[in-house]
């Protein structure tokens, strides 16, 4: 069967064929490291992780690049506000980013290039664009002349006839109303302080968009298979990347564009600038397990928005507990005997259904349904007679295989039991209703079971007193 992706450029489901047999080269726009990544950013990184793992599951070798945007408007502003040099501001954020990737079990990309380490490549690209007649200088800055690239707008749907000729935009991020010639290279200004590089046009720094064009070409070549990001990257960032790259090389920059929908809060995109965000660490401090968080982020189809809530994390926990029953039954498999043919058939069907779903535009709902069907089948089989050792092993092998895609079927850490999370939710509601006798009772109950509750300004924290088990 064929792999199919929804390509944002063709605007339709498209059969995937890699440029080189067996190898997929993909570029995933990485974090702007002016502040810690929030859980919305991780929605996109988890989608990219699912894409990477799926391609590997389907037999491809993946070469993935995720850039670290460590110089652009926001990183410079943030380091100015903190009154520290740029790199001193970004370094700890980058470290925490990698820690968060590991916590969420996001597989590492092959390359994490930093913009500040690739400035000469960006200047080469700027020069090529000037030489090819697509860029021009104005007061020490270099701009891309949009009207020269006739297919400008092909990704985002912007129409060239809306362009105000000669108008320019200097900011890295801008809205569609500011559809203008954009900066490839920005002349040094006082706000840049120590940040700046010498260039044939004077001291300055790169625009955000040219960074991704230069770094993707450096590691993946002029043309590569897949480029991803959240939908907010479509305009202007990816539109500008296409313009710069295709005008510099004359080649088709990217074969397939995949974009993830946003993680939302009360109908608004979660974003640092709106201030409506949670970091991964904040969610963990509230008692949510990283396994449940990964489950919520990964099992919503990447082109559908996610509304993250306490209920969705609890539902994830319940789903995981149901999935875990298969592992428990398999672990208990003992004694001699062959694999019952009906059970072997169920495993095969589950694998086929899982694979067919996931290769169809990362159809995670179908893929999960395939696993839940097997969980139910295993219940039926073990109700008839307990599983033998070979059956247990076959199930675990299959579970491990699909977990190379999901990476949440085998928990690593001890987690707060579902009952505790539910009690905490009931207690939160009781507090809102000012029913303090109920909320105190729940707190005492939990304390007697070894779970200490602390109400802080950030929310309620559950401390699991080690060595005590939940008494059922
Ligand atoms: P940034 O650090 O803002 O450059 O964003 C890094 C990545 O996170 C980009 O691919 C964005 O499209 C993505 N992103 C930002 N906010 C959200 C959100 N609320 N939901 C999903 N993805 C997001
Ligand atoms: Zn980018």
- The verdict on 48 and 116 lying in the same domain is yes
CA–CA dist 340, 82 (Å, integer): 65
- The verdict on 436 and 381 lying in the same domain is no
Residue 435 within any structural domain of the chain: yes
**pLDDT score recorded for residue 161:** 80
Which parts of the chain sit beneath pLDDT 50?
A: 466-472
**pLDDT score recorded for residue 309:** 87
Residue 45 within any structural domain of the chain: yes
CATH number of 329's domain: 1.20.120.640
Residue 198 within any structural domain of the chain: yes
CATH number of 218's domain: 3.40.50.620
Task: Kindly report the protein residue whose alpha carbon is nearest to atom 11 of ligand 1.
Answer: 230
Residue 286 within any structural domain of the chain: no
- The verdict on 376 and 431 lying in the same domain is no
- The verdict on 444 and 383 lying in the same domain is no
Q: Domain limits at 223?
A: 4-269
Look up residue 152 and give its DSSP letter.
Answer: T
- The verdict on 392 and 424 lying in the same domain is no
**pLDDT score recorded for residue 162:** 77
Tell me how crowded residue 29 is: count the other CB atoms within 10 A of its CB: 23
Residue 291 within any structural domain of the chain: no
- Ligand 1 atom at minimum distance from 277 CA: 19
CA of 209 to the centre of ligand 2 (A): 6
Asked if 387 and 380 count as a contact pair (C-beta separation under 8 A), the reply is no
- The verdict on 449 and 367 lying in the same domain is no
Rg of the chain, C-alpha, whole Å? 25
Domain end residue (candidates: 384, 406, 428) = 406
Residue 284 within any structural domain of the chain: no
Residue 379 within any structural domain of the chain: yes
- The verdict on 315 and 439 lying in the same domain is no
DSSP codes joined into one string, 431-469: HHTT-HHHHHHHHHHHHHTTEEEEEETTEEEEEE-TT-P
- The verdict on 398 and 424 lying in the same domain is no
**pLDDT score recorded for residue 130:** 98
- The verdict on 391 and 427 lying in the same domain is no
- The verdict on 25 and 163 lying in the same domain is yes
222 Cβ below 6 A of ligand 1: no
Domain end residue (candidates: 406, 428, 446) = 406
Ligand nearest to the CA of 264: 1
229 Cβ below 6 A of ligand 1: yes
**pLDDT score recorded for residue 329:** 95
75 Cβ below 6 A of ligand 1: no
pTM of the model: 0.88
Residue 301 within any structural domain of the chain: no
Express each pLDDT in 154-206 by its tens digit: 999 998 887 878 899 999 999 887 889 999 999 999 999 999 999 999 999 99
- The verdict on 107 and 250 lying in the same domain is yes
- The verdict on 456 and 385 lying in the same domain is no
Q: How many domains does one find in the chain?
A: 3
The HSE-up count of residue 366 (CA atoms within 13 Å, CB side) is 14
**pLDDT score recorded for residue 103:** 94
230 Cβ below 6 A of ligand 1: yes
Domain end residue (candidates: 207, 241, 269) = 269
């Amino acid at each position: 069967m064929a792999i199919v992706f929804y390509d944002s450029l063709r605007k339709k489901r498209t059969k995937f064929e890699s440029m080189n047999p067996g190898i997929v080269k993909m570029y995933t726009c990485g974090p702007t490291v002016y502040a810690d990544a929030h859980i919305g950013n991780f929605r996109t990184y988890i989608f990219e992780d699912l894409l990477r793992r799926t391609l590997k599951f389907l037999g491809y070798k993946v070469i993935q690049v995720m850039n670290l945007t460590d110089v652009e408007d926001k990183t410079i502003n943030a380091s100015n506000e903190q009154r520290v040099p740029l790199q001193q501001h970004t370094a700890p954020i980058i470290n925490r980013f990698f820690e968060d990737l590991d916590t969420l079990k996001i597989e590492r990309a092959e390359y994490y290039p930093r913009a500040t380490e690739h400035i000469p490549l960006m200047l080469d690209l700027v020069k090529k664009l000037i030489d090819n007649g697509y860029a021009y200088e104005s007061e020490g800055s270099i701009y891309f002349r949009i009207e020269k690239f006739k297919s400008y707008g092909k990704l985002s749907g912007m129409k060239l006839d809306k362009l105000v000729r000669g108008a320019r935009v200097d900011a890295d991020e801008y809205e569609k109303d500011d559809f203008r010639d954009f900066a490839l290279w920005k002349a040094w200004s006082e706000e840049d302080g120590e940040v700046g590089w010498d260039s044939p046009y004077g001291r300055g720094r790169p625009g955000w968009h040219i960074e991704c064009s230069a770094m993707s070409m450096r590691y993946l070549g002029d043309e590569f298979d897949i480029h991803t990001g959240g939908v907010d990257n479509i305009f202007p960032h990816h539109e500008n990347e296409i313009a710069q790259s295709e005008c510099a090389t004359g080649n088709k920059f990217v074969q397939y564009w995949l974009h993830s929908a946003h993680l939302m809060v009360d109908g608004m995109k979660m974003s640092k600038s709106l201030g409506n965000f949670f970091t991964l660490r904040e969610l963990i401090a509230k008692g949510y397990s990283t396994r449940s968080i990964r489950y919520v982020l990964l099992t919503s189809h990447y082109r559908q928005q996610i509304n993250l809530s306490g209920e969705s994390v609890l539902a994830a926990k319940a789903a995981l507990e149901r999935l875990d029953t298969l592992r428990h039954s398999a672990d208990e498999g003992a004694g001699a005997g062959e694999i019952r043919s009906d059970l072997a058939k169920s495993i095969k069907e589950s694998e086929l259904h899982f694979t067919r779903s996931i290769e169809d535009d990362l159809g995670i709902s179908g893929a999960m349904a395939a696993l839940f069907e097997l969980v139910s089948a295993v219940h039926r089989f073990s109700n008839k007679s307990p599983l033998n050792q070979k059956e247990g092993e076959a199930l675990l092998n299959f579970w491990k295989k699909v977990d190379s895609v999901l990476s949440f079927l085998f928990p690593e850490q001890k987690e707060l039991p579902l009952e505790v999370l539910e009690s905490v939710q009931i207690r939160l509601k009781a507090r809102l209703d000012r029913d303090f006798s109920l909320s105190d009772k729940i707190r005492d109950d939990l304390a007697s079971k070894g779970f200490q509750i602390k109400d802080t300004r950030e929310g309620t924290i559950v401390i699991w007193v080690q060595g005590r088990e939940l008494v059922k």
